[in-house]
A and B are shown apart, each in its own frame.
Chain A
Amino acid sequence: MKYPDFNQTVPIDHVGVEERVSRLNKRSIKKDSKIQALKMALSMIDLTTLEGKDSPGKVIQLCQKAKQPHPAVPDLPTVAAICVYPNMVSVAKNALKGTDINVASVATAFPSGQSPLSMRLEDTKFAVAEGADEIDMVISRGAFLNGEYQLVFDEIAAVKEACGDAHLKVILETGELHTYENVRKASDIAMHAGADFIKTSTGKISPAATQPVTLVMLEAIRDFYYDTGKMIGMKPAGGIRTAKQAIQYLVIVKETLGAGWLNKDYFRFGASSLTNDLLMQIVKQQTGHYQSLDYFSND
């Protein structure tokens, strides 16, 4: 494959990006299309716990939620994956045995990535050996901002190799890249270096996922698809808490990349509290009433 010259910048007009997002946000999603969207969003969640205090008990509890989001409503999809630290991969893997829910693990010295590459690769290999189906890595933002694009590229390629059969999601940490042009460039580097997914954020930096940033990344995915025919997935993560926001993201995906990307193989939400809002809205759509939050399990 021919790589673009990453020193060249793809111009992005931020006014235009934000205008496009606000126009997409005006889509009115009602009735059947709303129920469908809510269920679709649920099926795309990477249910996440990434805290220092995570314990096997907490992770098992989350896996239970993943398998059975809301027993009161039958026929609900399960979430796409559970996302945990490498130490918790085996716990999650065990808890999810017999389901098609994936275990995703952040690796590469998440969230800062500030360790030698050899250690980041070890981290990745460990998580894969523990049974992780997906690896969420972070790029070296310092190197990126310093213009060391080749280094960033090589590191991603090395992690990809360490992943083996596991899918690689590359976290750009867009909140630290500051411009849409940087987001675009980091997306291009990640995709050319072998990312299966590109992901906005670790969730540890504010701002995390935003819709304009997501649009810019989806447009990068579209251009990559035009050029290579390869479909790359997208995962906004952090800050997506409401069903309304989730549906807005789905509209952006639908009208930028189309039907091919509207499934968990190509689109994920990195979120935790989103699940219950989706469930609450699904129940509202079915019964016409909002239920108390007490009816939904907190995990």
Chain B
Amino acid sequence: MSDTETKEVPYKPTSPNSKLDFESVWEYAPAPQTSDFVEVKDRYDLFIGGKFVKPSKGRYFKSTNPATAEEVTEFAEATQKDVDKAVKAARKAFEGEWSKISAKERGKYIYRIARMLQERAREFAVLESMDGGKPIRESRDVDIPLVAAYFFYYAGWADKLEYAFPGKKPKPLGVCGQIIPWNFPLLMLAWKIAPALACGNTVVLKPAETTSLTALKFAELVQDCGLPEGVVNIVTGAGQTGAEIVNHKDIDKIAFTGSTQVGKIIQKSLAGTDKKYTLELGGKGALVIFEDAPIDQAVEGIINAIYFNQGHVCCAGSRLLVQEGVADKVIQKLKDRLETLVVGDPLDKNTDIGAINSKEQFETINKYLELGVEEGADIYQSKCDIPENGYFIRPTLFTNVSQSNRVVQEEIFGPVLTVQTFRTADEGIEKANNTPYGLASGVWTDKGSKIFQMGSKMRSGVIWANTYNKFDPTSPFGGYKESGVGREGGLHGLAAYTKI
């Protein structure tokens, strides 16, 4: 028990009974991504009306690199006055220059943003990993390419809205207030800004307080590409700043991605106003593995479903439901597979699981680990070493859990998977649907008909079959039940930013 955290946590951190030995003989040397080519300023101001401006109260808050717990930079705290200024700039642009530009020209700006993002892809990837803790492999291969793809996709729609909605005359909504989370900072920005601009709106966007860096780099890119002033405004701050946006009288639409808890507060504040809104909230996705599934590939699917981005994924598959006949085999394979996940420096090219985004989230996840053990679950963690500084959590499995356990019911938003079994398809469906959430789920079987049967009965916005966590700009994304209201992506995402 060489673990440094042993004294702090009441559970035994590892219970290694993997059958294979992955440690000795040959280890990968560190393969760090260079980061000396990226420039990070000591402090970032607000981006309003095409310029970086100081916050009215002059307050700034620190941003840390969760992998080292060291300070990266400072962001401005936007107050009500600043938000108002940003909304005014957005309104002015909406009624002025932006509305006079032809749809085709509007599209060109968005294409230009997409191309510039591609040109500066590595820089954005490094910043995303430095600021948020996600492994460079993911920010480089998933986040940033998808960001560009969403801009490209919506750029194409800008001058074709009448074809998107035949027989209608789609009009923009006006000023859109957009609040995004810390798990996919730049990707969520793309999901919000790209369709908004394509439809002719202007935006005031607030990135999450722990991960505002790439949004402000994006603001620099917006300046470089010559987008008319005030079309995109970025205000930084915490919950209070978000509330100022939600409650601002001159905003026509709110788009929020974040926790269900905050989503409910926003929905309450919007009740009785004529603001449109889309909410993309939490999830507790089920992974249903049948006996006839290709087991080795299903195991990879599970790994991808729950350990992608440290499990900080609203659509993460965090509840494994495996048919009894193959349960032991799947669990054994999962345990062995856990040992080969590389946990550590997000900027190392071999890292699979980076740092937990913030101290706060780190504590939340640890509480759930304790809770699971208290509830009587068996905990299994990879025996990998984790860095001493920064916030890291070993990939974790909870077996011997039931529907009534809190670790099965509540969204943990970390690298923690619960494992349950089922006997019949009906039981699998019942367990999968027995949650207040309904964002995404997955099914693994060799049989096509079973995929359709399950797909029509599982209550979630996205259902992946024999794969997980695949995203595409053309595909709508959003939840049932408490996982949200409205859809983003594809034509549905376009409709959410137009008056038709």
CB pair B297–A31 under 8 Å, yes or no, is no
Q: Give per-residue flags for A18-30: 1 if the beta carbon is below 8 A from chain B beta carbons, else 0.
A: 0110000011111
**Contacting residues, chain B, for A40 (C-beta < 8 A):** 26
CB pair B466–A13 under 8 Å, yes or no, is yes
Complex: A206 Cα to B288 Cα, angstroms = 38
Main secondary structure, interface of B, reads loop
The verdict on A11 contacting chain B, using a C-beta distance below 8 Å, is yes
Q: Which residue of chain B lies nearest to A216 when distances are taken between CB atoms in the complex?
A: B296
Q: Give per-residue flags for B456-485: 1 if the beta carbon is below 8 A from chain A beta carbons, else 0.
A: 000000000011000000000000000000
**Contacting residues, chain A, for B292 (C-beta < 8 A):** 11
Segment touching A, from B15-23, B124-132, B201-209, B425-433: B15-23
Segment touching B, from A53-61, A121-129, A162-170, A256-264: A256-264
From known contacts A11-B294, A16-B294, A257-B20, infer whether A262 and B29 are also in contact, taking CB-CB under 8 Å.
Answer: no
CB distance from A25 to the nearest CB of B (A): 12
The verdict on A176 contacting chain B, using a C-beta distance below 8 Å, is no
Complex: A263 Cα to B21 Cα, angstroms = 14
**Contacting residues, chain B, for A260 (C-beta < 8 A):** 20-21
CB pair B466–A16 under 8 Å, yes or no, is yes
Q: Which residue of chain B lies nearest to A259 when distances are taken between CB atoms in the complex?
A: B25
The verdict on A294 contacting chain B, using a C-beta distance below 8 Å, is no
Find residues 261-288 in chain A having any chain B CB closer than 8 Å to their own CB.
Answer: 262-263
Find residues 216-239 in chain A having any chain B CB closer than 8 Å to their own CB.
Answer: 219, 222, 225-226
The verdict on A15 contacting chain B, using a C-beta distance below 8 Å, is yes
Which of B26, B349, B466 is the one whose CB lies under 8 Å from A33?
B26
The verdict on B449 contacting chain A, using a C-beta distance below 8 Å, is no
From known contacts A11-B293, A259-B23, infer whether A34 and B29 are also in contact, taking CB-CB under 8 Å.
Answer: yes
Interface bin, chain A: 20 to 34
CB pair B29–A30 under 8 Å, yes or no, is yes
The verdict on A51 contacting chain B, using a C-beta distance below 8 Å, is no
Q: Which residue of chain A lies nearest to B300 when distances are taken between CB atoms in the complex?
A: A20
Find residues 95-117 in chain B having any chain A CB closer than 8 Å to their own CB.
Answer: none
**Contacting residues, chain A, for B23 (C-beta < 8 A):** 259
Find residues 410-466 in chain B having any chain A CB closer than 8 Å to their own CB.
Answer: 446, 466
Which of A20, A30, A259, A262 is the one whose CB lies under 8 Å from B31?
A30
CB pair B29–A16 under 8 Å, yes or no, is no
**Contacting residues, chain B, for A219 (C-beta < 8 A):** 296
Q: Which residue of chain B lies nearest to A258 when distances are taken between CB atoms in the complex?
A: B20
CB pair A15–B467 under 8 Å, yes or no, is yes
The verdict on B28 contacting chain A, using a C-beta distance below 8 Å, is yes
**Contacting residues, chain B, for A33 (C-beta < 8 A):** 26-29
**Contacting residues, chain B, for A143 (C-beta < 8 A):** none
The verdict on A186 contacting chain B, using a C-beta distance below 8 Å, is no
Q: Give per-residue flags for B19-41: 1 if the beta carbon is below 8 A from chain A beta carbons, else 0.
A: 11111111111110000000000
Complex: A222 Cα to B336 Cα, angstroms = 11
**Contacting residues, chain B, for A29 (C-beta < 8 A):** 28-29, 31
CB pair A262–B26 under 8 Å, yes or no, is yes
From known contacts A16-B466, A29-B28, infer whether A226 and B332 are also in contact, taking CB-CB under 8 Å.
Answer: yes
CB pair A15–B22 under 8 Å, yes or no, is no
From known contacts A15-B466, A226-B19, infer whether A27 and B446 are also in contact, taking CB-CB under 8 Å.
Answer: no
CB distance from B426 to the nearest CB of A (A): 22
Complex: A250 Cα to B467 Cα, angstroms = 26
Q: Which residue of chain A lies nearest to B141 when distances are taken between CB atoms in the complex?
A: A26
The verdict on A204 contacting chain B, using a C-beta distance below 8 Å, is no
The verdict on B278 contacting chain A, using a C-beta distance below 8 Å, is no
Main secondary structure, interface of A, reads helix
The verdict on A64 contacting chain B, using a C-beta distance below 8 Å, is no
CB pair A12–B297 under 8 Å, yes or no, is yes
CB distance from A8 to the nearest CB of B (A): 10
From known contacts A13-B294, A33-B27, infer whether A19 and B300 are also in contact, taking CB-CB under 8 Å.
Answer: yes
From known contacts A16-B466, A259-B21, infer whether A250 and B26 are also in contact, taking CB-CB under 8 Å.
Answer: yes
The verdict on A255 contacting chain B, using a C-beta distance below 8 Å, is yes
The verdict on B301 contacting chain A, using a C-beta distance below 8 Å, is yes
CB pair B137–A26 under 8 Å, yes or no, is yes
The verdict on B340 contacting chain A, using a C-beta distance below 8 Å, is yes
Q: Which residue of chain B lies nearest to A254 when distances are taken between CB atoms in the complex?
A: B26
Complex: A277 Cα to B108 Cα, angstroms = 48
CB pair B349–A26 under 8 Å, yes or no, is yes
The verdict on A37 contacting chain B, using a C-beta distance below 8 Å, is yes
From known contacts A11-B446, A13-B466, A30-B29, infer whether A259 and B24 are also in contact, taking CB-CB under 8 Å.
Answer: yes
Complex: A258 Cα to B446 Cα, angstroms = 28
The verdict on A95 contacting chain B, using a C-beta distance below 8 Å, is no
Q: Which of B25, B30, B466 has the most CB of A within 10 A?
A: B25
Q: Which residue of chain A lies nearest to B447 when distances are taken between CB atoms in the complex?
A: A11
The verdict on A32 contacting chain B, using a C-beta distance below 8 Å, is yes
The verdict on A17 contacting chain B, using a C-beta distance below 8 Å, is yes
Complex: A40 Cα to B298 Cα, angstroms = 31
CB distance from B305 to the nearest CB of A (A): 13
**Contacting residues, chain B, for A179 (C-beta < 8 A):** none
CB pair A259–B26 under 8 Å, yes or no, is yes
The verdict on A36 contacting chain B, using a C-beta distance below 8 Å, is yes
**Contacting residues, chain B, for A17 (C-beta < 8 A):** 296-297
CB pair B26–A28 under 8 Å, yes or no, is no
CB pair B28–A27 under 8 Å, yes or no, is yes
**Contacting residues, chain B, for A10 (C-beta < 8 A):** 294
CB pair B297–A13 under 8 Å, yes or no, is yes
Closest 7 CB pairs of A and B: A16-B297, A28-B31, A259-B25, A11-B446, A258-B20, A13-B294, A28-B349
What would 6 A/B residue contacts be, using CB atoms closer than 8 Å? A16-B298, A17-B297, A28-B31, A29-B31, A40-B26, A259-B26
Other A-B pairs beyond A26-B349, A36-B26, 8, CB < 8 Å: A16-B301, A16-B467, A27-B350, A33-B26, A33-B29, A40-B26, A225-B19, A259-B26
